[in-house]
Amino acid sequence: MRWLALVFPQLQLDSVCPVTEQVQNPDATTGAVVVIDGGQQVCQLNAQAMAAGIRPGMKLGTASALNRDVSFVQHDPGFERARALELAEICYQVSANIAFLEPDALIFEVSGMLKLYGCFKHYWRDLQQVLAAQTLHYKAALGHSPLAACVLARAGFCSVPLEQQFAQEGWLMPALDALQVGQLDITPRQQAQLERLGLSRLGHVRSLLQKSKGRKELAQRLGRELLDYLDQVLGHHIRPLDYFRPEDVFRQSILLEHELHTSQSLLFPVKNLLQHMQAYLQRRACRVQHLRLLLSGREGDTQVIALSGAEPERASEVWLSLLQLKLESVQLSAPVTAVRLEALKLLEEHVCTQDIFEPVRASSPSQLLGRLQARLGDEALKCVHLQGDHRPEHAFRYSALPKYGELKEGYADDSHYSKCSLSLRPSLLFEVPVPLSEGIRIVHGPERIQSGWWSDTPVCRDYFVARNTEQQTLWVFRDAQRHWFVHGLFA
């Protein structure tokens, strides 16, 4: 008994009107909600609608004739898929191997989890607790193959509690045998095919399939596809499943009750999102380095605020303080009605160590850089690298984003350059040389630098160290036209 199936027959309805409401006043005729599919037929309905006499499969007109106040919701498969994905994500805390079999059904592999839980009872109890928080209708059944469990669950085979189902296996085959072919997940044409052969129940099919001659005959009449399906239901062979793996992203959005006009008032709703994210990351033992905040306006326009920390971080307070700094410089383009938080890249946690005897509790350099970056922007923060070029302007390069971890990797190159370019250079270099306009005395030089003829900025200069009347030590040069310029200061 390896497989447990959970079928959610009215996933969309449960999201539209909560189960609690349905349970509290099942007799009230008001508040009837039905979900209609593409063919304008009722496919999901709540207890109130049921009480009004509406049945699944009815036409939209019939339903509204039975109850004027019934409200309609268009069936949205995309929404149901997203919701099922969400449910899988939630159940993933309890159970490891989860697969989607049909859009509204989840398959759990039980036998693997028994090593952890000891017995099925405990496993099922935990799963029920998780599902109870979601307030939705579901049907559950066990089976010896994924499809069998799914079919049994859909048929509503709940006469035996799951714990007993798990303990004894004897009930399974009679239950499967008793299934009408109409309860299987097959097309009406295939169903008619089976019924025309006089096979109205699954038991009939099974007894035929057990004989090799019967099997051959069935294969000829029904086709490979249907036979394959029936084999899977009966557990003759089991196709490997694609197990659900949670995505390595965090996405959550909230709809705001009121429109927000100032960026600072966003902090409160975002705080909630960040706390959810923290809990999510805690479960995954992950951190994030980049966050995106998408602010949607009434007109559907979206403003994106990107937030980057210098170090992967998960604490909501840290992100909130970064956001606070960021929001100081952000103007809202339109009033905000919905906020969405996205962390598209989760990073594995790595623990950093600190000296136990260090009296000053230093925060990590990356945290410092993160704060500075958030407030000042990338332009104000630079780190410097040496480059192998004789032209003074090109002998070094400022790079915008000093990432602490990456800098260490580049270390070897820099030291190599620094060893070979330890010539006489000023510590302060002007970006644009200033024409020399005062009397100087040459102290050292000349040093001719002629390079870069292959590039846009060729250089042919004689450099001197000089002192002016104010005793500043200047780095001056004379170009090919014999004009003099000051290029730096030996501070």
By CB under 8 A, tell whether 36 contacts other proteins: no
* β-bridge partners, 252: 341
Give dist(CA 135, CA 179) in Å, integer: 29
Angle 455-458-464 from CA coordinates, rounded to 5° = 145
Residue 383 within binding range of other proteins, rule CB under 8 A:
yes
Q: Judged by CB under 8 A, which of 68, 237, 245, 441 binds other proteins?
A: 441
At residue 84's C-alpha, the angle toward residues 83 and 88, to 5°, is 120
Q: Is 156 in the site for other proteins (CB under 8 A)?
A: no
Q: Which of 380, 455, 458, 479 binds other proteins (CB under 8 A)?
A: 380
Structure tokens that stand for 371 in this block: 């704060």
SS3 at position 104: coil
DSSP 322: H
Shortest gap between Cβ of 466 and other proteins (angstroms)? 9
Q: 89: Cβ–Cβ under 8 A, 6 or more apart, which residues?
A: 246
Sign (positive/negative) of CA torsion 430, 435, 439, 441?
A: positive
Query: Does 431 participate in binding other proteins (rule CB under 8 A)?
Result: yes
Applying CB under 8 A, does 237 fall inside the site for other proteins? no
Considering only 6-14, 57-65, 175-183, 377-385, which stretch makes contact with other proteins by CB under 8 A? 377-385
Does 386 participate in binding other proteins (rule CB under 8 A)?
yes
User: Would you put residue 235 in left (φ > 0), alpha (ψ -120 to 50) or beta?
Assistant: left
- Residue 385 in the binding site for other proteins (CB under 8 A): yes
Check residue 358 for interaction with other proteins (CB under 8 A). Answer: yes
Half-sphere exposure of residue 361, counting CA atoms within 13 Å on the CB side? Answer: 0
Q: How many CA atoms lie within 13 A of 295 on its CB side?
A: 22
Out of 423, 450, 455, 457, the only residue in the binding site for other proteins (CB under 8 A) is 423
CB 201 within 8 A of CB 178: yes
Q: Does 384 bind other proteins (CB under 8 A)?
A: yes
The answer for residues whose C-beta is within 8 angstroms of residue 436's C-beta and 6 or more apart is 476, 484, 485, 486
Phi, psi of 372 (to 5 degrees): -65, -40
Shortest approach of other proteins to residue 399 CB, angstroms? Answer: 10
Continuous segment of H or E residues that includes residue 147 = helix 146-154
Instruction: By CB under 8 A, name the one of 381, 401, 449, 460 that touches other proteins.
Output: 381
Which CB atom, from 262 or from 363, has the smaller least distance to other proteins?
A: 363
Whichever of 214 and 388 has its CB closer to other proteins, that residue is: 388
Which residue of 430, 449, 451, 452 would you call a contact of other proteins, by CB under 8 A?
Answer: 430
Nearer CB in complex with other proteins: 133/360: 360
Which H/E stretch holds residue 410? none
**Does residue 398 interact with other proteins by CB under 8 A?**
yes
Residue 484 binds to other proteins (criterion: CB under 8 A): no
Angle between helices 316-328 and 267-284 (to 10 degrees): 140
Mark the segment that binds other proteins (CB under 8 A) among 8-16, 273-281, 305-313, 360-368: 360-368
Torsion of CA 41, 47, 51, 53, to 10 degrees: 10
Number of shown-chain residues binding other proteins (CB under 8 A): 63
Residue 321 lies near other proteins (rule: CB under 8 A) = no
Residue 436 is a binding residue for other proteins (CB under 8 A): no
Closer CB to other proteins, 212 or 437, in the complex: 437
> Counting contacts by CB under 8 A, is residue 437 touching other proteins?
no
Cβ proximity to other proteins, 131 vs 466, nearer residue:
466
Q: Is 489 in the site for other proteins (CB under 8 A)?
A: yes
The DSSP symbol for 47 reads H
Binding window for other proteins (CB under 8 A); candidates: 153-161, 181-189, 205-213, 406-414: 406-414
Comparing CB distances to other proteins, the nearer of 137 and 425 is 425
The only residue of 356, 420, 454, 456 in contact with other proteins, by rule CB under 8 A: 356
Stretches 184-192, 239-247, 384-392, 476-484: which one binds other proteins (CB under 8 A)?
Answer: 384-392
Distance of alpha carbon 382 from alpha carbon 359, whole angstroms: 30
DSSP category for residue 180: B
Task: Please give the sequence-ordered ranges of beta strands (E in DSSP) within 155-264, or none if there are none.
Answer: 250-260
Give 27 or 379: the residue with its C-beta nearer to other proteins.
379
Nearer to other proteins by C-beta: 207 or 363? Answer: 363
Residue window 447-476: x/- pattern of binding to other proteins, with contact defined by CB under 8 A: ------------------x-x--xxxxx--
Nearest 5°: CA angle at 122, between 83 and 150?
A: 45
Cβ-Cβ contacts under 8 Å for 139 (sequence gap 6 or more): 6, 7, 9, 153, 154, 156, 158
Q: Which is nearer to other proteins, 428 or 480 (CB)?
A: 428
Angle formed by the axes of helices 188-196 and 212-222, nearest 10°: 130
Q: Which residues bind other proteins (CB under 8 A)?
A: 356-365, 367-369, 371-372, 375-376, 379-386, 392, 395-396, 398, 402, 404, 407-408, 410-411, 414-415, 418, 421-431, 441, 443-444, 465, 467, 470-474, 488-491
